[in-house]
Amino acid sequence: MKYIIKATGEREEFNAQKLRDSLTRAGASTEAVDNIVDQIERELKDNASTKDIYNHAFELLKKEESPATARYSLRRAVMEMGPTGFPFEQFVAEIFRAKGFETTTDFIAKGECAEHEIDIVAWNEQKLIFVEAKFHNELGIKSDLKIALYIKARWDDLANTAFDFGNHQHKLDEGWLITNTKFSESAIKYAKCQNMKLVGWNYPEHGNLQDLIEEAHLHPITCLNSSTPSDEKLLMQAGIVLCKQALDNPDILVQAGLSKDKIDKMIAEIKLISN
- The domains of the chain are located at 3-72, 88-216, 219-274
Rounded-to-10 torsion of CA 210, 213, 214, 216: 150
Q: What is the pLDDT of residue 86?
A: 65
Q: What is the pLDDT of residue 192?
A: 95
Q: What is the pLDDT of residue 148?
A: 96
Predicted structure pTM score: 0.79
Q: What is the pLDDT of residue 117?
A: 95
The CATH class that applies to domain 219-274 reads mainly alpha
Same fold, 88-216 and 219-274: no
Q: What is the pLDDT of residue 275?
A: 67
CA 250 to CA 263: how far, in whole Å? 8
- Comparing CA positions, the residue from 75, 223, 94, 50 lying closest to residue 135 is 75
CA 243 to CA 271: how far, in whole Å? 9
Q: Express each pLDDT in 37-65 by its tens digit.
A: 999 999 988 888 887 888 888 888 878 77
Provide the 10 A C-beta neighbour count for residue 115. Answer: 10
Q: What is the pLDDT of residue 174?
A: 95
Low-confidence ranges of the chain (pLDDT < 50): none
Topology adopted by domain 88-216: Trna Endonuclease; Chain: A, domain 1 (3.40.1350)
End-to-end Cα, the chain, rounded Å = 38
